Structure 1
Amino acid sequence: MDTAAEAQLQGLKILHLVRHAQGTHNVAAEENRDELMSYDHLDAPLSCLGRQQVCDLRKDVHERGLFQRIELVITSPMTRALQTAVGVFGRKDLADDELDEEQSTEDRDKTQNAISSTLNCIPILAVELCREMLGVQPCNKRRSISNYKSRFQAVDFSLAKSEDDNLWTADYRESNEEVAARGIKFFKWLWTRKEREIAVVSHGIFLQQTLMALGAKSYTPMPKDLLTRFRNCELRSISMSVTFVDEG
């Protein structure tokens, strides 16, 4: 993999791709996949294990020096992705015990964001294009932008085109091909950004289908280890050129 210096010289972008930490819907689905159809898991938040995964990845990001290098964080506007993005990248020295175990999920989000927004942190931008496969499953239906703004004050939601979720429908679910097409559109949009080193916090199906599509359509082979399903809160880094994305 190219180093940051090599990437800059070669006109590449370095992308740090992250799947959100474990959500409550992931836990429920391990017992019964039908749980994914339940509105009990509407816009599912992180589980207890998911919060620990965020703490672990945050430490790893800082130890590897990525916090000093990453210029922008792009996140899916879903609670589990927002929690992951803010928890991992929102503050360099956020200690594990700064969030009270007795706080509600909403109060934890507010506490975390109040801390993050007072410091010189990496900008975090919510982008609809990198959401999970849309439709049918309530866990992938987002809440209102106003709801998120009140809970995630460190995140920029200015690119949201609608207050409510106009993309998710109860009777139609995107195909893998449609997810991949949306993913390629997202990657092409990334190349309109000036930042060279970017973190993207997204979802398992979205990341896998997008990378598979880019690899299949490009003249440059995609490393096989990038094409497998991401684990929860797993980070994978890749350097890519605009030529690679245009080929896709």
Structure 2
Amino acid sequence: MQTAVGVFGGEACTDETSVPPLMNAGVGDSDRQAISSLNAPPFIAVELCREHLGVHPCDKRRSITDYRHMFPAIDFSLIENDEDILWKPDIREKNEEVAARGLKFLEWLWTRKEKEIAVVTHSGFLFHSLSAFGNDCHPTVKSEICTHFANCELRSMVVVDKGMIGSDESSTNYSGKIPYGLDLPSDVADENHIGNGN
């Protein structure tokens, strides 16, 4: 949440606004000032969108009561339990379980009406979730999808629901057409395009 607020949050808070801060001053034992929610996008905490669960204390979350105090403008309404009931001290979540949780998160993401959504989470969660996709793509594209994220890396992806192709109304900003030809990465496709004399 600190990363999300640092990247997408507003300016430092001033006493002149009546909106709650996204993050209060000093969160995480830092010397950071409070960060304003003024002119910031909405922030929603989603329990599914977490790092590998279990064993490691750093992967256990605090209570939602604590988080609400630290991050007053973040919406925690989708989280049902105040305490972390998913993290187990003696059982580490299997990679397949992380991927399944990731797929559930993506199913929830499909229900959103927004066309542009930033997902701020941990690289392990993204790696295992995205590895479940792209089996029908060119191997180079599949490799790009499954590449580990670097620390604080931002990637832009377009997610297409093939079930919406041909419908009159799309819930995304994708036109709903499948490109002609092989599903190649853009640099390979450009080489092929130039090599064919086109």
- Tell me the TM-score normalised to structure 1 length: 0.56
Which amino acid letter does the alignment assign opposite residue 160 of structure 2? S
Verify the 8 A CA contact 1:145 1:157 in the aligned structure 2.
yes
* Structure 2 unaligned spans of 5+: 13-24, 164-198
Give the residue type in structure 2 aligned to 1:160.
I
Q: In proportion to residue count, which structure has more strand? A: 1
Q: Find out whether 1:149 has 2:68 as its counterpart.
A: yes
Code of the residue aligned with 1:168 in structure 2: it is W
Alignment of 1:147-186 (within 5 A): 147-186=66-105
1:198/1:237 Cα in 2 relative to 1: closer, same or farther (>3 Å)? same
- Report the counterpart of residue 129 of structure 2 in structure 1: 210
1:177 is paired with a residue whose SS is helix
Letter in 2 for 1:228: T
Separation in 2 of the partners of 1:105 and 1:186?
27
- What's the % identity of the aligned pairs? 55
Paired residues, number: 150
Aligned: 1:129 with 2:34:
no
Residues 87-116 of structure 1 deviation map (CA, whole Å, 9 limit, x = unaligned)? 10011x55xxxxxxxx7444758833xx42
Deviations 1:159-201 (A, max 9, x none): 1110000000011111111100110111111010000100000
Q: Is the 8 A contact 1:132 1:206 kept in 2?
A: yes
Please point out which of 16, 33, 38 is paired with 1:111: 33
1:125·1:157 contact (CA, 8 Å) conserved in 2? Answer: yes
Q: Does 1:192 align with 2:111?
A: yes
Larger helix share, 1 or 2: 1
Structure 1 residues 145 and 158, CA, compared in 2 at 3 Å: closer, same or farther? same
- Once the two structures are superposed, the pairs formed by residues 14-53 of structure 1 within 5 Å of their partners are none
Secondary structure class of the residue paired with 2:103: helix
- Deviation per residue, 1:128-168 (Å, 9 max, x gap): 11100111111100000010000011211111110000000
The alpha-carbon distance between structure 1 residues 106 and 139, as it changes in their structure 2 partners (threshold 3 A), is: closer
* CA contact 1:184–1:214 (8 Å) conserved in 2: no
| Alignment-mate amino acid for residue 111 of structure 1 | Q
Q: Deviations over 1:42-69 (max 9, x none)?
A: xxxxxxxxxxxxxxxxxxxxxxxxxxxx
Moved over 2 A (4+): 103-112, 219-226
Aligned equivalents of 2:70, 2:60: Cα separation in 1: 17
> What RMSD, in angstroms, separates the aligned Cα atoms of the two structures?
2.3
TM-score by length of 2: 0.69
Note the alpha carbon deviations across 1:192-234, whole angstroms, 9 max, x for none: 0000100000111110011111223xx3454422311111100
Tell me, yes or no, if structure 1 residue 201 matches structure 2 residue 123.
no
Gaps of 5+ in 1: 1-81, 95-102
Q: Is the 8 A contact 1:109 1:152 kept in 2?
A: no
Which structure: larger Rg?
2
The structure showing larger relative contact order (alpha-carbon pairs under 8 Å, at least 6 residues apart) is 1
Give, as a single letter, the amino acid of the residue that structure 2 aligns with 1:177: E
Q: Which residue of 1 aligns with 2:154?
A: 235
